Structure formats: C-alpha cells, structure tokens
A and B are shown apart, each in its own frame.
Chain A
Amino acid sequence: MFDNVWLIPLFPLIGFLINGFFGKKIKNEAVIGGIGTLMIFMSFIVSCGILMQMIGLPPEQRVFEKVLFPWIHSGNFKADMAFLVDPLSAVMIMVVTGVGSLIHLYSIGYMHGEEGFYRFFAYLNLFCMSMLLLVLGNNMLVMFIGWEGVGLCSYLLIGYYFHKKSAGDAAKKAFVMNRVGDFGFLIGLFTLYWWFGSNHNIWTINFTEIKAASHLLPYGGVVTVATLCFFVGATGKSAQIPLFTWLPDAMEGPTPVSALIHAATMVTAGVYMIGRMSFVFIKSPDTMMVVAVIGAATAIFAATIGTAQNDIKRVLAYSTVSQLGFMFLAMGVGAFWAGIFHLMTHAFFKACMFLGSGSVIHSMHHALHKGHLHDDAQDMRNMGGLRKVMPITFITFFVSTLAIAGIFPFSGFFSKDEILWKAFSNPYHGSLNIILWGTGAIAACFTAFYMFRLVFMTFFGECRINSKVKEYLHESPLTITIPLMVLGVLATFGGFLGMPKVMGALPNYLEHWLDPVFELATEYGAKYAHAGGHESHALEWGLMGLSITIAVVGIMIALTLYVKNTGAPAKFVATFPALHRAVYNKWYVDELYDFIFVNPCKAFGQFLWKGFDVVVVDGVVNGVANVVMGFSGIFRYMQSGYIYNYAFSMVLGVVVILGYYIFK
C-alpha cells in the first residue's frame, strides 16, 4: 500500500484535469460534482489503506519514501519528486482527504446553480492535490510546490466571484501576503542547505537526510536564522501576526472554500511545517520562544477582533486566526503533538462551523432572494432564532461551538487543554510560561464569548429578518447536512484520540502515534530544558478545572449580553465608542500596512519611473543626443556653401596666425 502513495495526489489531479478541460461541456452538475467528490474520496480510501498498514507495523518501521522521478538536479543540488509517508503525514492525509471529501460533497449542494460550477470543482480538486503534495513531500521543494500550489488555489477560489472588486482585491492580498511568507521559506531553505553543504558537504533538502544529520546543527546561531525565516513562511501561510490580515478578507470566497482552505487544511500548513522540522526548530531556543509568543499574541489579538464583527464568516475567520495561534503556541512550547492534535480537532469543529454558517447563509440568501430583498445574508444582525427552522445545522453548530469553547468532553477541550497545560508546564521558557499560559487562558475566555455571541445572535432569540421572507427559511438539503452531521460527530468525539494521561480512561493514542516523529526533538530539547517542571497531577487537574471555568465564564457573559440583557452591547458601544471602533476596524492593521508598505511602495515606484527613469537616465541619454545635435547645428553653418564665407574664414585664420607671431 505504501508504494501506492503517489495515487493520493494523483486522483484529485485527474479530477482537476477532467473538470478543468471538459467541465464546461459536461454541464451536468451531478456529474461534475460527482467526479470531483469521487476523486478525493478515492484518495481518502488509499489514505485509509496506508494508515491501516502503518498501524500494523512496529513504530520504528513506520517511515517510507517513494521517489517518483528526478525533478531538479543541478550541480550539488538534488530535488526529486518524492513522497514521505510517516505517522505525521498519515495524520495529515487522513484529515485532508477526509474533511476534503465531506466538503466536496457539501459543495454539490451549496454551489448548485452557480455559474462556473465546473470551475469551482476543478479548483477544489487542484487544491487537494497541492495540499497533499505539501504534506507528503519528502523534501522542502516538493513541500514548496504544495505550499505555493495551495496559495494559487486559494487565490483562484477567493477570486471565484471575480466580477466583485472586493473578491479580486482579497485574492491578490492573500497571494501577495503568502509570497512574503514564501520569501522567508526560501531564505530558510537556502540557509539550511548552504550551512550543511559548506560545513559538512551534505548537500540536501531532504527531510529524512536532514533529520539524520541534525545532530550536526548547533544550538542557536545559524539555526535561529533559518528557523526564524521558516517561521516567517509559516506566519504567511497560517495567518499569524504580522501576516494575518489576508485571512479575514479571504472570506470573499464561497463558504466551502473557507471551510476547507481557510480553516481545516491550508492555513494549518505552517503548523505542519514546524512539526515536520521539529528537530531543527527545537535546536533554537530563541525561535521556539518567538513561535510561542507570536502564537499566544495572535490567539488573543484575533480573539478580541472576533468579539465585534457582525459578519458571521468574519467571526469564524478571526476565530481561525486565533485557534491557529493556539497551535503555534503548542509548537513553541515543544508540545508538537498537541499542536497537531489541535490542528486535527480544529479541522473537525471549524469545518463543521464554517459549513454550518454556509448552510445558514444558503438559507438566508435563498429567503432574501425569494422576497426580493437585498439585505446582507451574512450579517448576524439580520438573523436570529434559526434553531427552529434549521435544527440539524443548529445542533451540529452548537456541539462544534462547545468544542471550540473547550467544554468537556468535546474534542476542543482535550486539545486546547493540553496546549494550555504544556504552556504552563513546559521546561523551555522558564518564567515566560505563566504569561504564555495566562494569555492563552484569556484568549480561551474570549473564544467562548465570541463564539456563543455568534450562536446566540444566529440561532437564538427572535428572527430579525424581514417578516415577509421568514417563511422561506428552511433546513438545507442532505448533501449539506450529511457532512455537517459527520463533522459534528467528529467534533464531539475526536478528542478521545488524545486523552490526557491523568484521566487514564483511554490511552493517549495520538501522542504515542506521533512519538517516532517528535522524539528526536524532545531529545534535543532536553539539552537546554530546565529540570523539574510542574508535573504534579493535582495541578493538572486544577488547571483543567480552571480552563473549563474560564470557558463557562465566557459563555455566561455572552448569555447575559446577547440573550438576557440584549440592550447591553449597544450601551457598551455607546460608552466606549473609540474602543468599539478600533476593534470593529480590526485595530486598523490594514490601514497601518497601507500606510507603511503599500502606499510608499507605489509612490516610490512612481518616483523611480517618472523621476529616475525618465528624468535622470533618459535625461542623460537625450541630453547627450541634444548636445551632439546642438553642436552639429552650429557646425552646420560653417558648411554654408558660399565662397565668401570660406574666404572670410580664411582671412580670419590668416589674421589670427599673423597676430600670434607678431604679438608673441
């Protein structure tokens, strides 16, 4: 089965080619959607086969590499089109193909009747292929094809409604910000490659080879430079400070895209990349600290913005940024498996919520369309009371919200609690631990608050939509609700895969599973880890209780403000108008970037063109030409053709020469 790993990205590629070339002629939505869904589902089956085979092997044999064909070989540099199957990539392919299949299925219903239906499925398949290349690549360059490939698909899908200027802007912004990250990725790659090559004559970008040689890497120094560069790449792809502003704008894309790309898979690529290179990252204590701090800061920063948004998808977008921050916090405190665990549970509950919001928008849109109204179908202020008309959507959304808020025993509880516990008890960051934990805990409180704010505004209370169209609201069709139910189940029970040891009810499957991948990193980390740590069971139980309490507090605040005392938010806004405006406008980060980078760049470009190119360089060029023309214009008069002119100049010459000799 391992040998067939290349089939996994191949199926979606076939789907892309069929729908891309012939989709327009096929026209039949069932066929197009069926092909797209079937292809990714086939990948899912192959992935299951690989997982099964891997489970049957002893842990140390769970690594397999498959070289398809040589790609770029030049001088010392070698990069093959090759795949790496290990426990980490196995988890990732399961998530990508599993959640991917559900979202494809969902899209058949959601995108029904859209112009360019085939285009959507072609792009979606292309995205899956790129994402699978990203997680399966056995060297940094194959990973980079996937890395940029998902960026491309993200661009294409955000810009799906390309006639809207906002969609075009958002697509471009996403790609360019990702490119800033890619710049970091490339420099990191160069640095590592060059260091190994020039110091140890190991010219490689292959993960297994780097892992084998990673004992040669120093602690800090060049590793800090390289890993920080890689981390810049991760901040771009995974929407962390400072490169996070593209993700909320990316909500311009159709909702299944937001679910698949901008929640479940692509944006987690940065987390995956750090996991893949954990044995390099851990060698730089400084980078680890930066990762943890940026993660925690993003978690809380995005959570604050999420509290004031009214667009249902934007709330979820900031929530994604914030949850990704939690994952980076996990990576930064050396709890790599916990980061991957949260990546997985987040894929379940966030995909479920995005698809649920899509179900709501779909229904709202339909109703507004029928009533010939032009209200915003995504604005939560127009919603309310939807739990009665959309019970399946509501229930699945509600359990996912419990999961993200961290309520026991939903999946998010286990993963988030593990991260907070490791932030508190990890042996790497000393006194910073308490700050990391505190920030994470407050962010978790905000999370519970804004998520329940969303649930209350959308599903509870009275329906605020125009009464004319109320009766048009309805539950979505089965293609939409089936994926919701599957994801809802996963969001509920997915956490049992990684139950903490203190509970002891189930073994921690996921941690054991990922052990072979991360044990080397732990070994390296032990070199500078300070002894002791707070490994007390009582403390772990205590913190667990505390984090549930925090979540409940967040929920209670939301309940008070948005169900019981609904006038309070407006009063709050009236009391602190400046604060509300700042939060609502995302702390003006976009404006800041425009001011610092975008506008100066444009102005500088204008100056270089109109000022330097045209005036200076061409000024010199044309100046030389004009001087030559000027002189020739003067000299021209000397060749007048009149005898008396020549005679006069002869006489003048004689006079001058004679004068010279006479007065010498």
Chain B
Amino acid sequence: MSNVLSLTTFLPILGVLLLLFIPKDSKSVLRNVTLAVTLVNFLISLTILSGFQTNAEFQFIENMPWIAAGPFVMRYNIGIDGISLWLVILTTFIMPIAVLSTYTAVEEKVKEYMICLLLLETGMLGAFISLDLFLFYIFWEVMLIPMYFMIGIWGGKNKIYAAVKFFIYTMVGSLLMLVALIFLYFKGMEAGITDFGLLQFFSLKLDMATQIWLFLAFAFAFAIKVPMFPLHTWLPDAHTEAPTAGSVILAAVLLKMGTYGYVRFAMPLFPDAAHKFAPMIATLAVIGIIYAALVAMVQEDVKKLVAYSSVAHLGFVMLGVFAFNTEGITGGMLQMLNHGISTGALFLIVGFIYERRHTRLITDFGGLSKQMPVFATIFMIVTFSSIGLPGTNGFVGEFLILIGAFESQLRWWTVVATSGVILSAVYMLWVFQRVMFGELDNPKNQKLLDLNAREIAIMVPLIVMIFVMGLYPKPFIDKMEPAINKLVSQMRVAPVNAQVIPVGLPAGHPAMEAPAAGPTMMPAGHPAVAPSSDVNTEKTVNPHEAK
C-alpha cells in the first residue's frame, strides 16, 4: 500500500512489457490488454483517492537514493497533495477512455500505438507525483517522445510538420527550464541544500534578480506547454494532426502540465517574481481568452476550433491561478479537471464523426441531429459544459476563477475575461448549429450511423462527471483546498499583504506555523532520508512568512 503511487506510475510500463510478448497481428488482444492495464490502473488510483487524508501535507511519499553524481544528488522522491491528487486521478480516468476510442480508429501498427499510450501514461503520472526537481524533468521529457511518435506516425496529412513543431517548441522551453533548474540547484547548495528535493527549495530565499531570471525560464517552458498566447501556435497543428486518442490525452492531461508547473514550481519557488509578473501573465491569459475565442469562431475545421477553444480555456486557468487567492486557484484547478473532461469529450466527438466521414470540415456537415439523435444529445451536453452553463462542471471552475480574480489585483483583467463567456457561446453554438442543425442535405450524411455501444460507453463516464462536478463539486474542492490554502500562504510574501489574516485556514493549522516545506512531510524514521531531513530541519525554520 505504501508503494501505491509507484505502482500506479509504473504499471503501464509493466503493461508495455506484457505487450511485447503479444504478436502484433492479434490486434484485439493488444487493445484489450492495454485497456485492462489502464482500467486496473484507474482502480489502483482510486485507492489513492480513498486513502488520501484531507490535509495540506504531501502523502504516499516514497523517498530513496537514485543518482549521486558528484555534486548532483537526485533522489526518487515522490508524493502527492490535494493539488496533484486530482490530476493523477484525471490521468488514470482519461486513459481507458482514450484507449477505448482507438479500437476502430487505429488499424495500423496497433502494438506500437498501444506501447506509446502506456509510456505516455507513465510519463504523465510521473510528472505529477515527482517531488524531486530532476525526476520531474525526466518525466517531463519522457512524455514528449511517445506523443511525438503518435503525431508523427498515426497523424493526418501534415503530421511530420506538426510533430516536429510540437517537439521543438516544447524542447526549447524544457531546455531553458533545465538550465534554470541546474542554476537553482547551485543556489540551493550555497544555502546547504543537498539534493533536488523540491520541498527544500520552497524555503530558499532568493534575491529578486535571481528569482526573476529563474521564474522567466520556468514560466517560458510552462507557457509553451499551457499554451499561452503567443506561444500557442503548435497546439492547433498538433491537435489537428494527432489521432483522436492523442488529441484527447494532449488536451486532457498534457496541457495541464503547463498550468500544474506554475502551481507546483514556478509560483511557490519564486513567489516575489510571480507577483511581479502576475499582471503580465494575466494580460497574456486574457489576450489568450479573447484571441483564441475570436480565432475559434472563424475556423473551418471542427478539430481546429476545439483546439483554439482549449487555448481560451487554459487562459481562464492561468488567470485564476495568478489571482493568488483560494477561490482563484481552486477555480483554476477545477478548470484544469473540467477542461480535461469537456475538451477531451469534444475531441472524442470530433473523432466519432471523422471516423464516419473522414472529414472535419464544418461545411461538410449539417442536420446531423436528425440522423444521430444520441450523438446530438451528447454533443449538446458537452457543448454546454464547454460554454460553462451552470449545473455543468465548466461553470463552477470558471465562476471561481472569475470571482477570485476579481477579488485580487486583477479586477480589470477579470472584466475583460468575463466577456469571454459571450464569445465561447458564440463559437460553440455556431459550430453546433452548423454541424447538427439545418437540413440533412448532404447525401453522405444521410447514411450516418448513430453512436454504437462502445462509443456510448466511452462518453457516459465523461457525461456523468460533467454533471457530478457541476452539481456537487464539494468533494473535489474539499480535498484540494488545504493544499491550495498552503500555496496561498506560501505566495503571501509581499509585506503589503502581511497583515491579511489567512482566512480559510483553521487556527493552529500546521501551514500557519511552518507554511513552507518542513520535515513533517518526510516519513518519520525512514532510514534513507533521516540524515538529509535533519539538515532540512535546520534550514527550513526560516520560511517566507517569517519575513
């Protein structure tokens, strides 16, 4: 049980080993085995969910020596808190759905495809659970490779361009991050930090200039991944060319790496710089919301439209996160999950009609409601979830983001961002109308079949989550709130805000006394960490709040 986090992360690798022994022609066996692996993994991740204690601490920690090369000490240091918990669950939840969506969509090189999917799952889970900066970097890069192949091999007409663009864009960012990481490590060593363990760096007091440069490097890498305007142009190409499962995973999980990176690394590591750049990032986020919505409106390709809508949604997430208050960050976190569900569902929907008609041009459709009523209903629910209709998941996240940002210094940005709710209705309803309403006059569309049982089975969990998270988001918010409150207090460093009482934190909450990293997060008496955790104790009595 104590290794359940490692188990979840590496079970897909075991699955890969299993696949290696299956002949590549037995496609259905390959598919079913992969599906079984991802399903089992989802069930295992549910035990994490049920075992998770609702508090601000990192849990399910595993910490053991890994690499010690000269001054560089990397440890296998993993654990989750309320922030990463839901992203792990989201990943394991989306994977079986993605696998199931490939059953008829991918007929060539099935074995390789499945291996890519499983490798990707390990990469994504690893990145979410890493508490060692270097380990995080490794997983971050691991994700890149299977995705690159998925686009490049199973993609559409322009797949090579899209794959290379995706790879190089992301690579540029990650290399900058790597440099910043190593620089940060040396800064940490001066202060007595002995390995890449993330939590120790939270209490590191860096001067403003260093913070700015390091923040910019991290922020750049994450901004590409989010993607934020104007670094978003890889996304429409990657999404359009990627096979359906690739798009689903890309939208649902991979983009979250960027926003998660801000929440976990860029913001708490460099709080002063984050505050300094908040107006700039909020500006880019708001531009992204409006810009992407306007561009989405005039797209001719459904998939590209959904891709641009992603940019707008992620703009909301960034705005909420940079409000630096509980409501905004909670909204941002919820919106990450919501976007995973809703946009994932939209890509599946596009996949369904693409598989039937081999076109994604809006003008090729029209009047499908008549021919495909079940599909129409599901598409409509997802559309309204994407628009953020109250009662669906999209609303809760968007609302908390906006109200949080409005309370913060980002008031005017919020006003502009709120107008995004109009534009999202415009582009989503317009595409829905052109695809689903009107006369069914194209003869090719008159023979379309409605969704089959497998396709409905794919969509049902997503639809259920749309309503569960829209009507009763409490369990989700409750689990993540302590960790978010801790983050908020970590971010509350500017002297201007010093007198603000951290509302929402119960008195005597550990986060108030020692808000930053603390040895309490280490499993007590763990032989492997005992020495280093002693060192940490001395170094971490100086948290930011004490200033």
Question: Interface on A for B, CB 8 Å cutoff?
Answer: 69-77, 141, 144-145, 147-149, 152, 155, 159, 162-165, 167-169, 171-172, 175-176, 179-180, 182-183, 186-187, 189-191, 193-194, 197-198, 601-602, 604-606, 608-609, 613, 617-618, 621, 625
Residues on the A chain within 8 Å of B327, using CB:
74-77
Residues on B with C-beta less than 8 A from A176 are: 422, 425-426, 429
Flag whether B233 is at the interface (Cβ < 8 A): yes
Are the CB atoms of A617 and B230 closer together than 8 Å?
A: yes
In the complex, residue of chain B having the shortest beta-carbon distance to the beta carbon of A625:
B168
Interface window among B90-98, B258-266, B388-396: B388-396
A-B contact pairs, 5 of them (CB 8 A): A71-B472, A74-B477, A182-B422, A187-B415, A194-B411
Please, which residues of chain B bring their CB within 8 A of the CB of A162? 367, 369, 436-438
Once the chains bind, are A190 and B406 in contact (CB under 8 Å)? yes
Smallest CB-CB separation from A180: which chain B residue? B422
B88 interface residue per 8 A CB criterion = no
Asked whether, in the complex, the Cβ of B297 is within 8 Å of the Cβ of A75, the reply is: no
B210 is an interface residue with CB less than 8 A from chain A = no
Q: Can you name the residue of chain B whose Cβ is closest to the Cβ of A156?
A: B380
Bound CA span A13–B326, Å: 33
When each residue 452-483 of chain B gets 1 if its CB lies under 8 Å from chain A and 0 otherwise, what string results? 00000000000000000001111001000100
Q: Is the CB of A74 within 8 A of B481?
A: yes
A561 to B331 CA separation, bound complex (whole angstroms): 61
Write the chain A residue with the least CB distance to B477. Answer: A74
**Is A193 a contact partner of B403 (Cβ separation < 8 A)?**
yes
* Structural contact, B437 and A606, CB atoms closer than 8 A: no
Residues B298 and A606 in contact, CB atoms below 8 Å apart:
yes
Chain B residues with CB under 8 A of A601: 294, 297, 426
Q: Could you tell me if B390 and A163 are in contact, using CB atoms closer than 8 angstroms?
A: no
4 A-B pairs with the lowest CB-CB distances in the bound complex, closest first: A75-B326, A168-B437, A605-B294, A145-B390
Interface flag for B76 (CB, 8 Å) = no
B202 at the interface (CB under 8 A from A): no
Q: Are B298 and A609 in contact (CB under 8 A)?
A: yes
Is the contact region of chain A dominated by helix, strand, or loop, or is it mixed? helix
- Report the Cα distance A605→B305, complex, angstroms: 12
Contact count A vs B, C-beta below 8 Å: 150
Given contacts A176-B422, A179-B425, A617-B230, contact A72 B415 (CB under 8 A): no
Contact B389 A74, beta carbon cutoff 8 Å: no
- B165 on the interface (CB 8 Å rule)? yes
A70 near B425: Cβ-Cβ < 8 Å: no
Find the A residue at minimum CB distance from B367: A163
Check B433 for interface membership: any CB of A closer than 8 A.
Answer: yes
B360 at the interface (CB under 8 A from A): no
Residue B370 CB within 8 A of the other chain: yes
Given contacts A71-B471, A148-B391, A609-B299, 7 further A-B contacts (CB under 8 A): A75-B327, A141-B390, A144-B390, A159-B437, A164-B438, A169-B433, A621-B234
B402 interface residue, CB < 8 Å from A? Answer: yes
Task: List the B side residues contacting A71 at CB < 8 Å.
Answer: 471-474
What are the residues of chain A within 8 A of B103 when measuring CB–CB? none
Interface assignment of B442: CB less than 8 Å from any CB of chain A: no
Asked if A76 and B503 sit within 8 Å, CB to CB, the answer is: yes
Kindly state whether residue B533 has any CB partner on chain A within 8 Å.
no
Shortest distance from the beta carbon of B387 to any chain A beta carbon, whole Å: 8
Q: Which of B21-37 contact A (CB under 8 A)?
A: none
Chain A's closest residue to B440 (CB) is A163
Q: Which residues in B have their C-beta under 8 angstroms from that of A182?
A: 421-422
User: Do A75 and B503 contact each other (CB < 8 Å), given the known contacts A175-B429, A186-B402, A194-B407?
Assistant: yes
Enumerate chain A residues within 8 angstroms of B299, measured Cβ to Cβ.
609
Q: List, in ascending order, chain B residues with CB within 8 A of A141's CB.
A: 390, 399
Complex interface: chain A residues within 8 A of B295 (CB): 605, 608-609, 613
CB pair B421 A183 closer than 8 Å: yes
User: In the complex, what distance in Å separates the CA atom of A221 from the CA atom of B453?
Assistant: 58
Task: Name the one of A168, A183, A193 contacting B433, with C-beta atoms under 8 angstroms.
Answer: A168
Task: Give Cα A190–Cα B471 distance, bound, in whole angstroms.
Answer: 21
Are B421 and A186 closer than 8 Å at their CB atoms? yes
User: Given the complex, which residues of B lie within 8 Å of A605, measured CB to CB?
Assistant: 294-298
Q: Which residues of A contact B370 (CB under 8 A)?
A: 163
Q: Establish whether residues B389 and A621, one from each chain, have CB atoms under 8 Å apart when the complex forms.
A: no
**Residue ID in chain A nearest B474 by CB atoms:** A70
CB atoms of B399 and A163 under 8 A apart = no
